[in-house]
Amino acid sequence: MRYSALFGKTIKDAPKDEVSKNSKLLTRSGFIRREVSGVYNFLPLGLKVLKKIADIVREEMNAIGGQELSLTALQNKESWQKTGRWKTFRALMKAKTQLETEYPLGPTHEEVIVPLVKQFVSSYKDLPLYLYQIQTKFRDEKRAKSGLLRGREFLMKDLYSFHAQEKDFNKFYEIMKKTYKKVFERLGLDALETLAGGGTFSQFSHEYQVITDAGEDEIIYCPKGDFSANAEVSPVKEGEACRLGHGPLKKSKAIEVGNIFPLGTKFSDAFGLTYKNKEGKDIPVIMGCYGIGISRVMGAIAEVHNDAKGIIWPKEVAPHDVYLIGITNNESRIKERTDEAYDSLKKAGLDVLYDDREDAAPGAKFADADLIGIPIRLVVSKRNEGKIEFKERKSAKSELLGLEEIIKKFKA
Ligand SMILES: [Zn+2]
């Protein structure tokens, strides 16, 4: 991709109504642009990151037997009345048509998936089932000033599991804990598995919390990593010791990037979702649900991986592999060399953002490379002779390498 042709350019200052670090950084670097409060457009660079996050999550859900589907955003009011959540789900958005029909705009999908699964499940042979989607959700947030960390419209992965036996559910819940750990590691986030309450879903749940001052939750956690609980439900306080005698426990603000809930038979009971066991008896299906905020993860990454100059994307979710700069000073020879490097890198399978602007000063190109935060910066210039300057975004050091050496580094 040539920067000169890219839709969505960097800007010097974020609009003054962007107050969170993540939305300031992502807006300045040309990844997102606000539509209304808590609602963002994703520009090409931003969409690339969002898709990479979604693909990592999708890969891991498929690996444990998840089947992807896509459920409606516009839902059935009667189903929400059946579960009682039409009245009790505080953040439910309700869309009214011109004929005064009301539709819940999905903040979650139990009310859609349970009646749907009921049409296909009748016997123990139909279970277990793991169904998920990556889809846009809506929540009527009172305050939405945290950029991508709290949106009125946001992208989420939600998986629902259906089981015949409690012990089968428990086994899957543990598999999900391990899978979430792996997902967040791949996303470059240090997410603590945290005991939490269940809200309108269940008695308890587990949240995946990333420590940052921008977070809206408070967690109590052991510095050795064996304990973390949401401050609202923590059995121990800051300064005390954990069960294993480590201490003192710390308290910190954190952002929830994922959660897993045991649902029991709450929703199966509401919709009469049962299966016939071997004796032909009707038994309610046991359920769990498992969420990851895809767009929120993007906000959390920007919030924790940055420095004074801009974002520092982890490799797996970066919008491009390489940011290529040519310091041409109007010398056609250097421009040709940079064009050649661009072609060779592309041929080697690398995704390159080539800053080919003729009218931008070298300093402006370096500043934009740092702001956009692509993991590797390559510079072709007269001073570097036949070599190319190779620099990691996260490091201050650079080295001069040949093009072949650089391509080899990526393949390693
Ligand atoms: Zn401990």
Q: Which of 246, 273, 307 is the last residue of a domain?
A: 307
* Ligand 1 centroid – CA 291 distance (Å): 26
Distance 193 CA to ligand 1 centre (A): 13
Measured CA distances, 110 to 80, 117, 200, 262 (Å) = 9, 10, 12, 13
> Distance from the CA of 227 to the center of ligand 1, in angstroms?
6
Please tell me whether residues 74 and 217 are part of one structural domain: yes
CA of 228 from ligand 1 middle (Å) equals 9
CATH of the domain at 403: 3.40.50.800
Contacts of 140 (CB under 8 A, 6+ apart): 90, 91, 92, 93, 152
- The CATH number for 170's domain is 3.30.930.10
Nearest Cα neighbor of 287 from 304, 262, 312 is 262
Give me the pLDDT at residue 153, please. 97
pLDDT tens, position by position, for the chain (412 residues)?
999 999 999 999 998 989 999 999 999 999 999 999 999 999 999 999 999 999 999 999 999 999 999 999 999 999 999 999 999 999 999 999 999 899 999 999 999 999 999 999 999 999 999 999 999 999 999 888 899 999 999 999 999 999 999 999 999 999 999 999 999 999 999 999 999 987 766 678 999 999 999 999 999 999 999 999 999 999 999 999 998 999 899 999 999 999 999 999 999 999 999 999 999 999 999 999 999 999 999 999 999 999 999 999 999 999 999 999 999 888 889 999 999 999 999 999 999 999 999 999 999 999 999 999 999 999 999 988 789 999 999 999 999 999 999 999 988 7
Distance (Å) from CA 149 to ligand 1 centroid = 29
Query: Does pTM surpass 0.75?
Result: yes
Neighbours of ion ligand 1 (CB under 5 A): 222, 224, 226-227, 242, 244, 246
Q: Which of 209, 212, 213, 237 lies closest to 225, judged by CA?
A: 209
Is the CB of residue 152 less than 8 Å from the CB of residue 139?
yes
Q: Distance from the CA of 192 to the center of ligand 1, in angstroms?
A: 13
- pLDDT at position 201: 61
In the chain, the amino acid numbered 304 is V
Answer yes or no: are the C-beta atoms of 388 and 332 closer than 8 Å.
no
Scanning 248-388, the segments in alpha helix (DSSP H) are: 266-271, 294-304, 332-347, 362-372
Distance 119 CA to ligand 1 centre (A): 46
CA of 36 from ligand 1 middle (Å) equals 43
Residue-level pLDDT at 144: 86
Number of domains in the chain: 2
Spatial distance between the Cα atoms of 176 and 51, rounded to a whole number of angstroms: 22
Q: What is the distance between the alpha carbons of residues 391 and 397, in angstroms, rounded to a whole number?
A: 6
Do 339 and 250 belong to one domain? no
The rounded distance, in Å, linking the Cα atoms of 406 and 320 is 15
Residue among 366, 348, 353 at smallest CA distance from 409: 348
Tell me, yes or no, whether 255 and 229 share the same domain: yes
